[in-house]
Amino acid sequence: MHSFYGANMLDLVSEDEKEILKKTLVSLYTDRIFPEEKTVKARLQVYKASGSVLQNFVSYYRSMDLYRVTTNVFEPFWIHAKRVQCAIV
Q: Give the number of residues written for the chain.
A: 89
Query: What is the model's pLDDT at position 54?
Result: 93
Convert the pLDDT of each residue in 10-45 to its tens digit. Answer: 777 899 999 999 999 999 989 999 888 889 999 999
| Model pTM score | 0.72
Mean pLDDT calculated for residue range 60-84 = 69
CA distances from 82 to 10, 25, 64, 66, 78 (A): 18, 12, 10, 6, 12
Query: What is the model's pLDDT at position 88?
Result: 38
